[in-house]
Structure 1
Amino acid sequence: MSCYFLSQGKDLWNPSNSVARIFVDQAIMLAKEMGLDSGIEGIIEDECEIHGDRFTAFLHALLLRHDKSNNQALRSLLEGVTAIGLVITERAGWDMPIADTGDNSFWDEKKTQLARSMPTG
C-alpha cells in the first residue's frame, strides 16, 4: 500500500504508508513546536493534501531554524522533513520564500539525491 501526497489534484509523492505516516507526523510535530501550520492535512484514504502557501512558509521557517542553530542533533532532525519538503515544493512548482541561509548548495545536493528515491504515482 502507498499514500499519495497531492496538491489540487497533482501527484507530488507516492511513498509507502509507513513512510508517509512518519513524514506527516514529524512535520506536524515540528510545526507545533514552532507554533506554525505545516500546510499538511492528515492522511485520509491513502491520500494527503498539501496546501502550498502554508507549506512553503513552514519550510522557510525550517530552513531558517536549521541555519541559525549550532546544535547538530537539532539540525539533523530538521533535515529530513526539510529535504523532502523541498522536493515536494519543486515538483508542485511553488515559489519558496527566499531564506538567507548562506550556502544553498547543501540543500540543492540533498534535494537532488533524495528526489531520485521519491516516486510519484
Structure 2
Amino acid sequence: MSQYFRIDGRDVWNPSHGPATVFTRLAEAFVPLAGPSGIGVTPGDPDDHPIDGAAFAKFTDALVAEYRATSHPIQRALLEGFVATAAVLARRAGLALPALDGPAAVSSRDVPGGGAAGPDRLAELMAGYERAMPA
C-alpha cells in the first residue's frame, strides 16, 4: 500500500504507508516551529495528500533556515531527516527555498562552540534521499 503526495497537482512522492505516515505526523509536529505545512488529506481518501505549494515552500524554508542556523546538535538531528525529505519534495515541485541557497543565520538556541550547518550536508542528504523517493 502506498500514499500519494502532490504539490499543486504535480506528483512528487509515492512512498509506502510507513514513511508517509511518519512524514505527515512529523509535519504536524513542526507546525508550531514553522507555521502551516500546507499538507492536506483528500476527504474519503486518507492515502492522498494534496499539498499547497506556497504554504509548503514557506514551511519547508523556515525549517531549512532553522536546521542551518542552529548549532545545537540535538535540534539539528531531530530536524535533519524531515528537512531533507521536505526539501526534495519542494525542489521536485520547483519551489524556491531561499534558506537552502543563502548563508545560514544564527539561531537564538545556539550552543557555545557549535557551528551552523552548511548547505553541503543538506545537499548530500537530499541527493541520497532523492534516489530513494519514488515519485
- Shorter chain as denominator, the TM-score bin is 0.7 to 0.9
CA-based RMSD: 1.7
Question: Gapped runs of 5+ residues in structure 2?
Answer: 105-116
Q: Structure 1 residues 5-14 or 66-75, which shifts more?
A: 66-75
Stretches of 4+ aligned residues off by more than 6 angstroms: none
TM-score, structure 1 as length reference:
0.88
Which one has more relative contact order, counting CA pairs under 8 Å at least 6 apart? 1
TM-score, structure 2 as length reference:
0.79
Shift of 1:20: 0.6
Structure of larger gyration radius: 2
1:39 maps to a residue whose letter is: G
1:82 matches 2:83? yes
- Indicate the residue corresponding to 2:123 in structure 1: 108
Q: Decide whether the 8 Å contact of 2:68 with 2:119 is kept in 1.
A: no
Q: Structure 1 residues 50, 38: closer, same or farther in 2, change over 3 A?
A: same
Q: Structure 1 residues 35, 86: closer, same or farther in 2, change over 3 A?
A: closer
2:130 maps to a residue whose letter is: A
Q: Structure 1 residues 24, 43: closer, same or farther in 2, change over 3 A?
A: farther
> In 2, distance between residues paired with 1:43 and 1:118?
21
**Count of aligned residue pairs for this structure pair:** 119
Percent sequence identity is: 32
State the SS of the aligned residue for 2:132.
coil
Q: Decide whether the 8 Å contact of 2:13 with 2:89 is kept in 1.
A: yes
Q: Structure 1 residues 35, 84: closer, same or farther in 2, change over 3 A?
A: closer
